[in-house]
Structure 1
Amino acid sequence: MCGRFTQSQSGESVAQAFQLKAVPNLQPRYNIAPTQPVSAILATPDSPEPRYQLLRWGLIPSWAKDSSIGSRLINARSETVAEKPSFRAAFKRRRCLIVADGFYEWKSDPNSKAKQPYYFRLKEHAPFAFAGLWEQWTDPQSGSELDTCTILTTAANAVLEPVHDRMPVILEPDQYAAWLDPDFYDPKDLQTMLDPYRAEGMESYPVSKAVNSPRNDAAECLEPVEV
């Protein structure tokens, strides 16, 4: 799964990585948690040029009666995303890129009730994209609209396996265009993008338990610790 991640890159770095015409105004985020706003790249039929947009993390399907379901839909399993009622419509036409530069996962300790957090990132420390889905939900009471998203997950690669059996789907740059294209839908081709990221391109290390609280959103969350 993916329950916390980081996006500490500059707006210029993100614009370059995702070939955006406009440079987004970004503040470093070191402990992004569910229901918070996240940086995303979208493309729609009426606006096919990839653009930056903030989405709330936790997908609310268009048919939902209230927003509470969003906190339970922060992740979507890639193996079943095409069939699940909560995700299948978005998988067809509303795929997005979730901008990140690392994420956290927790390892169980048989000698302690406390889990040890680990940080995972690309070896080049560059921004990257989680495979995401997005939806626009209209509140039936107020009529207000809310744009939300979820992050797809897959089986863990060799870097993740010692800590957790799942990991977020990290896309390669040459997959961005097809993933974003709302007019493209070939389930078999899309599924080939959802394999675990190549282990040789990633690294990890244990970090402070300060990351356990979403109130802590500072660079100290990334500091290595000894275990």
Structure 2
Amino acid sequence: MPSEPSPAADPSGPGASYSRGTVDLLGLVAYGELCAFERLAEDARTSPSLADKVQIAAMAAGEFGHFELVRDRLSALGVDAMEAMAPFRTPFDTFHRLTAPRSWLEGLVKTFVGDGFAADFYREVAAYVDADTRACVHTVLANEAQSDYIVARVRAGIAEDPTVAGRLALWGRRLVGEALSQAQRVAADRDDLTGLLAGTVDRPGMDLAAISRMFSRLVEAHTARMDLLGLAS
């Protein structure tokens, strides 16, 4: 079956804002995956055991593979991935600078909680793009095996030293707070991206009640992730 027409094909037509928003979403996801690869590669270097090093290195390789999938989707739309990612370097890099883990366990929680919160938001936005782009986003955000490993490893760490639970719980809350702050910055700077949710003249989106329900879903999913880790949200 042939791919759907490129949403970025007519930058001056009536769907121009939608096209730019779609590219923004892919650029956001691509840079997020690239950052995840870099972080996990560093976490692999500091892993406490050889088995952990292998597991984290495999996760890092998977994230780079995801980056390549998004890059290929952007290429199919006639868009250079470097240009699509460029607007998101500052907010992402700021977030990671403000949330640099102080321990290996904090790094795992950041991957599970911080990246998980972002992934939930990307899936919400992806509901309003074309089917091929939506499938790409959902594919790169599917990390069930990675999640199982992190949950088991963090719970084991808490069992070994129960005193870390309180610190990790505070860390999880801080991660989401910083993520929301940077998301607001992106939303303020990228009208076309937020327009995917709000809708345009020719494309329906969410009303205020639906947006409120979306944020409720994001918070509920965050709480569920913290519970899986054995941490208070």
Q: TM-score, normalised by structure 2?
A: 0.26
| Bigger share in helix | 2
Q: TM-score, normalised by structure 1?
A: 0.27
